[in-house]
Amino acid sequence: MTFRAVEVLKQADVILAEDTRTSSHLLRHFSIGKPLQAHHKFNEHQTLQQIINRLLSGQTIAMISDAGTPGICDAGFLLVRECVTKGIEVECLPGATALIPAVVISGFPCDRFCFEGFLPAKKGRQKRWAELAEETRTIVIYESPHKLLKTLSELKKYFGGERKIAVSRELTKLHEETVRGTIAEQLEIWNERQTVKGEIVLTVEGRQT
């Protein structure tokens, strides 16, 4: 937490949080006594207009997420878009996000890269793999731990086993870890682990021209 972030949260009329139970611990730590309101991907459509009305009335509203940055594979985009449409000023305070550290520590070129977030679960997934196999920039993909082996298997199918990849887990957190190697090697490594915990970031070497 930066000093500026603490001050912004202390000055807000209400704080939107992905999980109010998790965020309450953070606010108590910094002695921030502002009211919390749940705002996440499952309710953001329903709460959007009510939040906009409060902003239009002159209130200051802050948004935080459990991990990462709001709007980047988290709730936030809909609200920001509506604020821009309504002429409401929006500020973004840079904070922890797994994307940039994953690219930097991968060892792959990071002057230009392709961020995919979470790939489609079903419809369009195979087509996207085929397109990404031709991508020459470094590729960054988010994945959940229970889908890691499936995704690595699909990477091997479309990219080949020798393409290099860095698998990062729990980035910017206490137990962060990055394992580097070829796709084939990563399949063996992670298959031997009985359990995989934490959010995963896959940073894949671009196709060599």
The structural domain count of the chain equals 2
Does 91 map to a domain?
A: no
pLDDT band at 97 (very low <50, low <70, confident <90, very high): confident
Q: What is the pTM of this model?
A: 0.87
Q: Which amino acid is at 193?
A: R
Per-residue model confidence as pLDDT tens digits over 183-199: 999 999 999 997 899 99
Q: What local confidence, expressed as pLDDT, does residue 66 receive?
A: 85
Question: Going by C-beta distance under 8 Å and a sequence separation of 6 or more, which residues neighbour residue 106?
Answer: 138, 166, 168, 178, 180, 203
- Tell whether 125 and 171 lie within a shared domain: yes
CATH at residue 153: 3.30.950.10
Arithmetic mean of pLDDT over the chain: 95
* 8 A C-beta contact, residue 128 and residue 104: no
CA distances from 198 to 8, 98, 149, 158, 183 (A): 29, 12, 14, 25, 20
Does 93 fall in a domain? no
Q: Which tokens go with 9? A: 């949260």
- Is 165's pLDDT higher than 90? yes
Nearest to 69 by CA among 110, 115, 137, 138: 115
Q: Are 88 and 55 in contact (CB under 8 A)?
A: yes
Tens of pLDDT, residue by residue over 33-73, are 999 999 999 999 999 999 999 999 999 999 998 878 899 88
- Residue 36 DSSP SS3: strand
Domain carrying residue 186: 99-204
Task: Convert the pLDDT of each residue in 111-127 to its tens digit.
Answer: 999 999 999 998 999 99
Is 190 found in the same domain as 140? yes
Which of these three, 17, 51, 86, is where a domain ends? 86
Query: Do 73 and 46 belong together in one domain?
Result: yes
